[in-house]
Amino acid sequence: MHKTSKTIALMLVLASFMLSGCNTINGLGKDVERVGEKVQGASAR
């Protein structure tokens, strides 16, 4: 697997865990925001 494919797969797995843990729409918004911040941080490297 390419490095990019592994990174995307890891992010999808982490996102699924985060989404399964939130109970409200507000919680979902915060989780999505955190995933976006992680993606931005990873792309800055």
Rounded Cα distance, 24 and 6, in Å: 30
DSSP state of 44: T
Under the banding of pLDDT at 50, 70 and 90, the label for residue 41 is confident
pLDDT of residue 28: 76
pLDDT tens digits, 1-34 = 578 888 889 888 888 877 776 566 677 788 889 9
Query: Is 0.75 topped by the overall pTM?
Result: no
Mean pLDDT of 31-39: 87
Tokens encoding 12: 């999808």
